[in-house]
Amino acid sequence: MQILRNIIYGLLPRPRLSATSVGGAPSAAKRLLVLSRYPNPSVSYYLDERTKALANIPVIMKGLDEGLEDLDSEGLFVIICRYIKEPQLRWLEDRRRSLAGVAYFVDDDIPAVVAGDEATWPYKFTLFNLAVRPLPRVNRLLTHLWTSTETLADTLSDAHQKIAILAPMPATLEGRSSEIAGEASTSLKMVYHGTGVHRREHEFLMPIVKTAMDKHSNLHFEVFAEGSLARQWGRQEIEQRRMTISPPLPWASYLARTTDHGADIALAPLLIGKTNDSRSDTKRIDISRMGAAAIFSRCPTFSRCAVAGELHIGNTAEEWLMAIDQLVGDRDRRLIARNATVKSIEKMRQSTTAAFPGIRFDVLGDIA
């Protein structure tokens, strides 16, 4: 079966710059259009803060089902964030000569997700329909190609590709961490907010969480899961009153929930694999928003913006249980870990730039 998955992975199209864009001088852009399945985490993590920095440039955000007929294409630079549908793609094709450029941004190895064995079939269908099938036509339009990590760029690159890195740029966070850490409470909330794409991480955590919950009666555990994963969590024989299994939320609802409802401990495992190897460390942003003390897998993804005081451990049950024990039993250690991840968000901001790579704007000049 793995051989078949590898064949499928190799056959699926990748984003590629058009032959005419290689070596060409980009036109100056007067306006910016972002096409996305909006709102979504990719826009929040990578694009929102950068568009806010374009104070003198009109920025237009369009969801995939919104029409573009009312837009002036002259001098318009277009960012396709992961997905596009036929009507918008046809609009771009009809106006390609008047556009200032077209960039494609991707923050996942989408062929690896489609060919892999973790994502659900409905999610794979969505990815194939919105992100894979349009690529041959999208590629003929592209003047810029951006990925979220160097690893993903290496996966997609060839001798003719010029792929720029658009690293996460989080918003400045409020000071929830110190507030929550200062509260005296005998009850602690531990969370795992991995999506269904992280099936292996869910299954890795199940026996660990079961053991931790049996040992620490003051823990309440929250996990987002649906379908077979939710049923697996329900079979762990954890006291129902001490565990919440919630279905995954739409992005806007998830933002609101994690802003309004914090956590004490957040689990952030990441196992070795083709899909995970290309991921960025945006999970830090969610954890900081909740004001939680995190436990991270020791891996290249989370080492990128690591700071002293964070907990980074190997992917063994023993190490994860020891780390949970440490955070449950030591309030000061939780505070240190929480504040460290807040600092890592600032490091994340400082390690990138607000510029969109390679775009020249009429008003601001060349900011790349």
* pLDDT-derived band at 366, boundaries 50, 70, 90: very low
Instruction: Give CA torsion, residues 169, 57, 140, 158, to 10 deg.
Output: -40
What pLDDT was estimated at residue 25?
A: 57
The overall average pLDDT reported for the chain is: 90
User: What is the structure's pLDDT at 368?
Assistant: 40
The larger pLDDT score, comparing residue 185 to residue 147, is at: 147
Residues, the chain: 368
The token pair that represents 161 in the structure block: 């590709």
Segment 262-273 mean pLDDT: 95
pLDDT of residue 181: 39
Quote the pTM value: 0.90
- Predicted confidence (pLDDT) per residue in 42-59, tens digit: 999 999 999 999 988 999
- In angstroms, the CA 206 to CA 208 distance is 5
Asked if residue 13 has a cis previous peptide bond (ω within 30° of 0), the answer is no
Average pLDDT over residues 85-111: 96
- Mean of pLDDT values over 119-145: 94
Between CA 195 and CA 5 the distance in angstroms is: 21
- Mean pLDDT (whole number) for 155-182: 72
pLDDT band for 163, please (50, 70, 90 cuts): very high
Q: How many CA atoms lie within 13 A of 331 on its CB side?
A: 11
Q: Does 71 have pLDDT greater than 70?
A: yes
Taking the C-alpha atoms of residue 133 and residue 12, their distance in angstroms, rounded to an integer, is 9
Residue pair 198/224 in contact (Cβ under 8 Å)? The answer is no
**Tens digit of each residue's pLDDT (9 = 90 or more) over 313-364:** 999 999 999 999 999 999 999 999 999 999 999 999 999 999 999 998 886 4
Relative orientation angle of helices 283-290 and 251-260, to the nearest 10 degrees:
40
Phi and psi, residue 356, nearest 5°: -90, 120
Which region among 15-29, 157-171, 255-269 has the lowest average model confidence (pLDDT)?
15-29
Residue 180 predicted with pLDDT over 60: no
pLDDT given at position 184 = 43
How far apart are alpha carbons 36 and 101 in whole angstroms? 17
Surface-to-core class of residue 271, CB atoms within 10 Å of its CB (0-12 exposed, 13-18 middle, 19+ buried):
middle
Largest Cα–Cα separation, the chain: 65
Range from 115-119, 290-294, 315-319, 336-340 carrying the lowest mean pLDDT: 115-119
Q: Which residues, in sequence order, are CB contacts of 183 under 8 Å at separation 6+?
A: none
Mean pLDDT over 159-179 rounds to 75
Alpha-carbon gap, residue 120 to 196, rounded angstroms: 7
More confident residue, 247 or 5: 247
Are the CB atoms for 166 and 356 separated by under 8 Å? yes
Report yes or no: 297 and 323 within 8 Å, Cβ to Cβ.
no
Residues 6+ apart with CB under 8 A from 157: 163
Asked whether residue 120 carries a pLDDT value surpassing 80, the answer given is yes
